[in-house]
Amino acid sequence: MFKIALIVFTSIVLACLQFSSSYAMSSSLSVDVSISSPMVRRGEAINITVGLTFDSKPAAGCLVTVEVEDPTSNKIYLWTATSNETGQASFSFKIPRDSLLGNYTVFVSAVKKNGGLVRAVAQPLTFMVINNPPAIRSVRISHYEIGFGMILEVNVSAYDVEGDCNVTLRLIGPEDLERDYELLKVNGGFKSSIRTEDLKIGIWKLYFYAVDADGDTSSYGPLEVKILPKGLYEASALIDTYKAEGFNMSLAESILTEALDAYNKGRFEDSKNLSLRALKLAKLIKDSYMKIEEALNSLKRARAEGKMVFLTRAEELLKMAQQALEESRYEDALKLAEQSISESERAINWMIPAAICIIAILLLFLLLRIRAKPRKHN
């Protein structure tokens, strides 16, 4: 009996001696772990740095093991490395774009040979993998002012680094009216053609939203689009075009402003009449400028042909036309310029009727001479 007890005691002591030689108390080996960020997006890298000390001195040559578990406790990464002369080991890895979202846990342990093996385990650390929201790169719309009944074209460039996304458009208009549109995917972008007759005349604000498969959203806007009555829009568009061509449209613009003001105050018939007046005036202004330019060219052509003596009236009319233009008397300017052109053309073409007259006079003179010549009698 005594022998049996001695054998059991001896076995226990040997087992304890073996454990102690393989894994010493971890208090002699210290592990410090840091991660580059508590949050990281899919597709980004995360860095794990392990610092080891043994008896308060850098512990070189230690075997370091790092394990990472995903939010479902599945081990997805396992690395081993040896600490350098400063007692450090570094690990870096890129989060796949299809990774689960949520908290990931990092487990770090280290083993050092010190006669036997000394092992230490760090407190687990966590970091969160978050989604990359979709992004709207650009938005293009066909008009910022558009006539009622026309089509508003919308084009959006949007993307999601982890896959596809969808783009929606919300319009908020007069009296807080709302309209929602799902944009169609076309050639890598998103597009929609919006019928303004389905909306209401007035100012509409456009808000764009991109949504990815994870439900994250990014937004763009608002942009403002003004839907005008057709006549008002046509006048505004024409005036803007003529201004861009260099014509002075200040008077037409002032009438257009009155038309807009009348519309905003609900005087729709006045707005319609004023819009038509602004449209006609814009055309008249351009025609006046163009006709004066034509008159000036006619004068130059006549001078080049040496008809200076016949151009006095044409020059006077052109000056009167230019004066009328400066005074915003556009109808007078147009008529005077047309008269100047007629005078210049008459000066250019005067030789033909003059030559005909001279020839006719000469023929008549010869005929009279022939008749007046006395006849010889036998």
- 313 and 346 in a single domain? The answer is yes
- 211 and 303 in a single domain? The answer is no
Q: Residue 269: what are its φ and ψ, rounded to 5°?
A: -70, -45
DSSP characters for 103-122?
EEEEEEEEEEEESEEEEEEP
- 239 and 344 in a single domain? The answer is yes
Q: Give every CB contact of residue 20 below 8 A, 6+ residues apart in sequence.
A: 116
- 87 and 163 in a single domain? The answer is no
Q: Is residue 253 part of a domain?
A: yes
- If you search the block for the tokens 């169609």, which residue do you land on? 184
Give the C-alpha distances (Å, rounded to integers) separating 203 from 93, 146, 206, 229: 51, 10, 10, 12
- 149 and 255 in a single domain? The answer is no
Q: Closest Cα partner for 202 from 260, 161, 283? A: 260
What is the domain range of residue 278? 231-351
CATH number at residue 78: 2.60.40.1930
pLDDT at residue 21, rounded to an integer: 26
Give the C-alpha distances (Å, rounded to integers) separating 56 from 36, 50, 83, 87, 233: 24, 15, 15, 11, 81
Spell 271-281 as b/e; 16+ CB within 10 A means b.
bbebbbbbbeb
- 200 and 236 in a single domain? The answer is no
Q: Is residue 368 part of a domain?
A: no
Q: Residue 258: what are its φ and ψ, rounded to 5°?
A: -60, -40
Q: Is residue 346 part of a domain?
A: yes
- 94 and 148 in a single domain? The answer is no
pLDDT at residue 20, rounded to an integer: 27
Q: Is residue 367 part of a domain?
A: no
What is the amino acid identity at position 105? T
Q: Give every CB contact of residue 333 below 8 A, 6+ residues apart in sequence.
A: 288, 291, 292, 321, 322, 324, 325
Give the C-alpha distances (Å, rounded to integers) separating 356 from 233, 363, 366: 56, 11, 15
CATH number at residue 196: 2.60.40.10
Q: Is residue 139 part of a domain?
A: yes
pLDDT at residue 378, rounded to an integer: 46
- 163 and 187 in a single domain? The answer is yes
pLDDT at residue 138, rounded to an integer: 95
- 174 and 192 in a single domain? The answer is yes
Q: What is the DSSP letter of 26?
A: G
Per-residue pLDDT in tens (0 to 9) along the chain, 378 residues = 333 333 333 333 323 332 222 233 445 899 999 999 999 998 899 999 999 999 889 999 999 999 999 999 999 999 999 999 999 999 999 999 889 999 999 999 999 987 778 899 999 999 999 988 999 999 999 999 898 889 999 999 998 887 789 999 999 998 889 999 999 998 889 999 999 989 988 889 999 999 998 889 999 999 999 898 888 888 988 999 999 999 999 999 999 999 988 888 878 888 889 999 999 999 999 999 999 999 999 888 888 876 555 678 888 999 999 999 999 999 999 999 999 888 888 877 765 555 566 677 777 767 776 766 665 554
User: How many domains, the chain?
Assistant: 3
- 76 and 28 in a single domain? The answer is yes
Helix 312-326 to helix 268-304 angle (10° resolution) is 150
Q: How many CB atoms lie within 10 A of CB 219?
A: 12
Q: Closest Cα partner for 156 from 142, 137, 143? A: 137
Q: Give every CB contact of residue 323 below 8 A, 6+ residues apart in sequence.
A: none
Q: Is residue 281 part of a domain?
A: yes
Sign of the four-CA dihedral 288, 289, 293, 299? positive
- 339 and 307 in a single domain? The answer is yes
Q: Is residue 96 part of a domain?
A: yes
Task: Report how far Cα 63 is from the mean position of its chain's Cα atoms.
Answer: 54
The domain boundary residue, chosen from 66, 97, 130: 130
- 205 and 288 in a single domain? The answer is no
Q: Residue 71: what are its φ and ψ, rounded to 5°?
A: -60, -15
Q: Closest Cα partner for 26 from 125, 122, 118? A: 118
Degrees to nearest 5, angle at CA 104 with 89 and 67: 40
pLDDT at residue 200, rounded to an integer: 87
pLDDT at residue 207, rounded to an integer: 97
Q: Is residue 124 part of a domain?
A: yes
The pTM of the full predicted model, rounded to 2 decimals, is 0.59
- If you search the block for the tokens 């997805």, which residue do you land on? 76
In three-state secondary structure terms, 45 is strand
